Structure 1
């Protein structure tokens, strides 16, 4: 048997900047660049209590939060994620071109910026 499961490509995250907010005790501002090779898809996840802003630097990205419909974002478009949102889908819409996001977080200082999210997990 030589049939090996092909692993789908995933995203890579490059930290850019992190700094505690000077006038908001206990909160940190963080920015990262997220790169998606062609056909790459992130696993479902959450960002805890962070407020998240995502801006498409290049390519086309499909995204779905909670029970909302899937949306497609192109270069120059953006979205935000409220604290506790379940990011069910994030993927490069192209099978031939990479995509890149600038993602900004305002989070609780010291908390992880990304955690695994289960499709069954619901905030209530």
Structure 2
């Protein structure tokens, strides 16, 4: 089990590193570009889960929270996202954002009414709470 926890911590540290890491040494034609980073408190995460979200044109997610750290990368299309009280931001394929544990993700939707969109979210958490915790917004 310690090996598993160490592997997750190493992976998280590698993802969060401020340095650019190449896949090998001296690779020609390879460009590695950081797309997002966040400083997270030192702790052993018990679970790391990656999910893919595919949005149909015009689709939206219900407001929700996540129990742990979330790193999101848009794979295709454009996605609008807003956490807590911030204004919605539009993210294109290849762009990313970070969500702190417990932040209210009040807007998450496909920005297009005619094209699909996809994203991948990596969630680091204690493994005890539900990954997605729905929230009912007051109107």
1:91 to 97, 109, 119: 109
Match of 2:77 in 1: 59
Alpha-carbon offset, residue 26 of structure 1: 5.5
Match of 1:42 in 2: 61
CA-atom RMSD, angstroms? 1.7
1:115 to 1:21, Cα distance in 2 relative to 1, 3 A: farther
Unpaired segments ≥5 residues, structure 1:
1-19
8 A Cα contact 1:21 1:29, kept in partner: no
Unpaired segments ≥5 residues, structure 2:
7-42
- Counterpart-to-counterpart distance in 1, 2:118 and 2:45: 29
Match of 2:89 in 1: 71
2:135 to 98, 117, 122: 117
Aligned length: 100
8 A Cα contact 2:5 2:45, kept in partner: no
Stretches (4+) displaced over 6 A: none
1:111 to 1:58, Cα distance in 2 relative to 1, 3 A: same
1:82 to 2:65 alignment = no
Whose helix fraction is larger, Structure 1's or Structure 2's? 2
Match of 2:5 in 1: 22
Match of 1:8 in 2: none
Q: Which secondary structure does the structure 2 equivalent of 1:52 belong to?
A: strand
- Counterpart-to-counterpart distance in 2, 1:119 and 1:21: 38
- Counterpart-to-counterpart distance in 2, 1:54 and 1:116: 18
Q: Which secondary structure does the structure 1 equivalent of 2:118 belong to?
A: strand
